[in-house]
């Protein structure tokens, strides 16, 4: 059994905590949050604290806090065992604890309101020591199936790619929703198209799956689309169209 402490109470921490509690191969010893009230609901499942000086010794201490807080929080942890952060964009060297260091990065978009199936979530792992890497592998394998060894340089590039395929794509949905609202069309009409596009790239290289007026160099359609958009939307449309055409 792997003993774990989770430091943090954000979206990533919330879902990891739920997964650890339910897993018989993991002993969740403790959860830390800045305000004890926010984790009061966990007191029947594990020890809780709002004092970093009281963090228990565990096989792994997962630091699931905001990127800009990782260095400060980790510097206050006195545990002698492995400390791993969960960030995609922060290097392993950003951990300022004096003990062993690692990264336990679940590559997914997390919201507290939506359940997560960790069997479908890639875990990107890094450690300074091969035994610690194995420990993180075992922890990830207890709740998931997709495990990758990704170093800090690779992970920073992967995180940028994730912003494009997730955050930027979601913003495109927002613009599409705004256009639908403006012309009194239900956005749900686009749901099958969205799902088909996502499904297609599981079987094809994204570039080969590209369709649309930019791919066809359909100038008349492009100009017609631009006439329907506001200035900000036009700039985004032109930039994406040019990128597709140059690709």
pLDDT tens digits for range 146-176: 999 999 999 999 999 999 999 999 999 999 9
pLDDT for residue 3: 97
* pLDDT tens digits for range 178-201: 999 999 999 999 999 999 999 998
pLDDT at 236 over 90: yes
pLDDT for residue 165: 94
Question: What pTM did the predictor assign?
Answer: 0.85
What's the rounded mean pLDDT across residues 237-246?
A: 95
Q: Are strands 60-63 and 146-149 parallel, antiparallel or unpaired?
A: unpaired
pLDDT for residue 154: 96
Q: Are strands 122-127 and 101-106 parallel, antiparallel or unpaired?
A: antiparallel
**Burial environment of residue 112 by CB neighbours within 10 A (0 to 12, 13 to 18, 19 or more):** middle
Q: What is the CATH number of domain 2-150?
A: 3.40.50.720
User: How does residue 22 score in pLDDT terms, banded at 50, 70 and 90?
Assistant: very high
Distances in Å between the Cα of 69 and the Cα atoms of 7, 64, 86, 95, 128 are 11, 10, 12, 10, 21
- Alpha carbons 9 and 6: distance in angstroms, whole number: 8
**Burial environment of residue 187 by CB neighbours within 10 A (0 to 12, 13 to 18, 19 or more):** middle
pLDDT for residue 112: 86
Q: Where in the chain is the domain with CATH 1.10.1040.20?
A: 155-246
Residue 5's SS3 state is strand
Q: Where in the chain is the domain with CATH 3.40.50.720?
A: 2-150
pLDDT for residue 247: 82
User: How does residue 75 score in pLDDT terms, banded at 50, 70 and 90?
Assistant: very high
User: How does residue 72 score in pLDDT terms, banded at 50, 70 and 90?
Assistant: very high
When the pLDDT of each residue in the chain is averaged and rounded to a whole number, the result is 95
pLDDT for residue 109: 86
pLDDT for residue 113: 84
Q: Domain 155-246: state its class.
A: mainly alpha
Sequence-distant (≥ 6) Cβ neighbours of residue 108 within 8 angstroms: 116, 121, 122
* pLDDT tens digits for range 92-146: 999 999 999 999 999 998 888 888 899 999 999 999 999 999 999 999 999 999 9
């Amino acid at each position: 059994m792997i003993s774990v402490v989770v430091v943090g109470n954000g979206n990533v921490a919330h879902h990891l905590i739920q997964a650890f509690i339910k897993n018989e191969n993991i002993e969740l010893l403790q959860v830390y949050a800045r305000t004890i009230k926010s984790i009061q609901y966990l007191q029947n499942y594990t020890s809780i604290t709002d004092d970093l000086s009281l963090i228990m010794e565990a096989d792994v201490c997962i630091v699931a806090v905001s990127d800009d807080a990782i260095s400060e929080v980790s510097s206050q942890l006195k545990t002698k065992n492995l400390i791993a952060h969960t960030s995609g964009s922060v290097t392993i060297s950003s951990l300022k604890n004096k003990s062993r260091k690692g990264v336990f990065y679940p590559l997914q978009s997390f919201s507290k309101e939506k359940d997560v199936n960790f069997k479908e979530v890639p875990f990107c792992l890094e450690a300074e020591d091969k035994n610690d890497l194995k420990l993180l592998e075992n922890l990830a394998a207890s709740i998931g199936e997709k495990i990758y060894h990704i170093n800090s340089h690779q992970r920073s590039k992967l995180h940028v790619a994730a912003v494009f395929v997730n955050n930027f794509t979601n913003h495109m949905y927002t613009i599409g929703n705004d256009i639908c609202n403006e012309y009194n069309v239900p956005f749900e009409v686009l749901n099958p198209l969205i799902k088909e596009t996502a499904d297609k790239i599981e079987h094809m290289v994204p570039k080969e799956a590209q369709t649309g007026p930019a791919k066809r160099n359909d100038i008349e359609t492009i100009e017609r689309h631009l006439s329907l958009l506001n200035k900000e939307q036009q700039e985004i449309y032109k930039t994406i169209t040019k990128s597709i055409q140059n690709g």
